[in-house]
A and B are shown apart, each in its own frame.
Chain A
Amino acid sequence: MNYSKRNWIFFPGMLALFLLVSGCGTKKPPVPPTPPSPKPVTATLSANPSSIQRGQSATLTWSTENATDITLEGNKVDASGSQTVSPTQTTTYHLSAKGSGGTQDATAQVTVAQPQATPTPTPTPSLTEEQLFDQSVKDIYFDYDKADLRTESQQTLARSAEVIKAHPNWKVRIEGNCDDRGSTEYNLALGERRADAARQALQQAGVAAGQLHATSLGKEKQVCTEATEDCWQRNRHDHFVLVH
């Protein structure tokens, strides 16, 4: 039984293989024949209407030329076509067209107007505190892998802050959530950043630190499970819970 000897016998062959493998890295690419100059790739994408109310739909229309590989939001699509979307938040759609002439990208934004801002409801005896909280402290939404507050989220938080300040007895838990595409542990850290962003904004708007508790739920509490941009967007949110 002499296994170390076996290695020595194999060694010259192995060394040759080793050189072969290392050689592969330095191989020069063959000089390609001069190809006919490819036609340039073009791509256009438009949204109609480009501004909708929440719950309404918009139509995305796109066309491309000289492209072989066309994707809309990462999904393969025909060279030209249209598709109906109903985003819940302002969304930028991304068209990518690839061909021998290069790659061309186009984007179109659908702006979603928030529902008519209801005047801050005055507490009436008919409304429980929970009902008031649910009506006035709304979820905010985030871009993919981002924890920055969107403009509309800042407005939402400003309205929430007024109501929370008016109820100094309230304790509010801010739950940061992520869609299910990221990795479990990293999403916990990302959810933490999303919750913390809202906490800071509410404090800056005058809410007492002691009223707020930020926590992350990562991707552990999904509100929907479809693999669609709409569902992913619904899951990338801060949710607010009245804990008293």
Chain B
Amino acid sequence: MKQFAAFTKKEILEQLRTGRLLILIIIFCLFGIMNPAIAKMTPWMMEMMSEQLAESGMAITTVDVDALTSWVQFFKNMPMALIVFLILFSGIFTTEYQKGTLINVVTKGLKRWKIFVSKESVMMIIWTLGCLTCYGITFGYNAYFWDNSVVHNVFFSAVCFYLFGLWLISVLGLASVFCNSAGSVMLALGAAFGASYLLGLFPAVKEYVPSYLLQAPNLLTGNVDVGDYLWSVLILLALIVMQSIFSVVVFNKKNL
């Protein structure tokens, strides 16, 4: 435990001192504010453009915005935050391989699984806090401007996206065990997402792949049942556990 705590302390210090944490706080807060802001500004923007649109023959009626508009915006913006998050952390393992900094701690007797679990936990905790921040800010503004109760299953939908993020973080860990550069880790992440997306095109399996959770915002209107996403959530959780175990096994024999 002492070893794990010491290494995790270093990981957190790294995120603080390299400014990575600051960038992520800014991004999550910014997106949190942008969601209701964009929704709030939509009628005003429409009005600005209505004259031009009228000239081209389009008639603009009054646009109604409510909490749903803001939440839809939330689910549009979060993938962007996830991409930035993954890019920022793509080198969390590979930079250490390239510099050889892990050699010192491993030769001090630090168990390799502790390195892996520490890094993955730090990423997952920051992702969790980031999602909570963004969700909290959007939720707060929405409650102030409109009424959150018109939107259905918003928390569950957000959890689905959050879990999808956790899955990609675990893919990042797995890819980092095999790859030696941040670029190849990003490629592997792209490939994992692509594979999940392509599998999702087959009706027989589409409800079981992780990327199915990206369609969870369909729940917001209340027309879809939450139970439809249950299998996908369970499979995703199982995948995270299996990927992490497999990563540790491979990491134990990796040339550092």
| Chains A and B bind each other | no
Binding site for B on A (CB under 8 A): none
